[in-house]
Amino acid sequence: MFSEELRTQAAPIMTAIHDHAFVRGIADGYVPREALIFYVEQDFQYLSEFIKIYANAITKLTDRNEMKFFADSIDFILNSEIHPHHVFCDVAGVEYETLQHATPTPKAYLYESHMYRAADTGSLLNILAAFQACPWTYNEIAKKQVQEKANTNDNPFKSWIDFYDNTDDDPEVSLSDKIFEWIDRLAENATTQQRQQATQFFLKSCELEWQFWEQAYHQEDWRFKDVLNQANSL
């Protein structure tokens, strides 16, 4: 199956994500406050762009069940995925509303641009492949940490882990599993070149997921941020 090929090729990246200091910190119950704040600031902006691209994807569909999938995904981001943000905010001791006005960092800007590029191809296979890295990697993180019994009651991130371990009505079939099944159906009728392009979108998104954790942990921002802010004020 094409989805198995994708997961196999992305395995080294997934391993690096599991081993990342931020991700391990979630399992261990401690992440530096500054990293949590930086993450929420950037993820709020990232998910806002995600919603726009999902909405754009709907315009490329004719099947109402497929439209419903993207509409439900938008609803999930708007009304459910604020919960893990609140978990980080509670641990950091900050109000969520104060972290919703950040400028995307270079890596977040790159990730958003990458997703728009996938959408601009007009290929549903490319769009799903590019988007899949996010739900897949988060679900894998949570599943592994549950297996490690990291979601104990004394872990302040327990609710975050539990949220991403089961984000679907059926715990045996995760959202990422359903997207992989959809990708497999599309790949059956795709050319070798089209599958190769979709693979690149998926793997780059996986790399950018690792980069997202990295930038948050080290608070990596624009080197000349002051110059950019001055330009915005003109």
For the chain, what is the mean pLDDT?
93
- Structurally, the chain folds into a number of domains equal to 1
From the centroid of its chain, how far is CA 203?
13
Residue 81 lies in a domain: yes
Q: Tell me what the mean pLDDT of segment 38-58 comes to.
A: 92
pLDDT of residue 170: 53
pTM for the whole structure: 0.93
CB 88, CB 25: distance < 8 Å: no
Residues 132-169 have pLDDT tens digits of: 999 999 999 999 999 999 999 999 999 999 999 975 44
For the domain that residue 59 is a member of, what is the CATH number? Answer: 1.20.910.10
CB 20, CB 33: distance < 8 Å: no
Residue 173's pLDDT band, with cuts at 50, 70 and 90, is low
Residues 52-91 have pLDDT tens digits of: 988 888 887 888 988 998 899 899 999 999 999 999 999 9
pLDDT of residue 59: 85
Query: Taking every pair of C-alpha atoms in the chain, what is the biggest distance, in angstroms?
Result: 53
Q: Which whole-number Å values give the CA distances from 66 to 63, 89, 117, 187, in the listed order?
A: 5, 34, 21, 16
Residue 226 lies in a domain: no
Q: Which whole-number Å values give the CA distances from 28 to 33, 67, 118, 137, in the listed order?
A: 14, 39, 35, 18
Residue 228 lies in a domain: no
Give me the domain span that covers residue 82.
Answer: 1-220
CB 6, CB 181: distance < 8 Å: no
Percentage of residues in the chain with pLDDT exceeding 70?
A: 95
Residues 87-139 have pLDDT tens digits of: 999 999 999 999 999 999 999 999 999 999 999 998 999 999 999 999 999 99
As given in the structure block, the two tokens for residue 172 are 């045996």
Residue 202 lies in a domain: yes
Residue 116 lies in a domain: yes
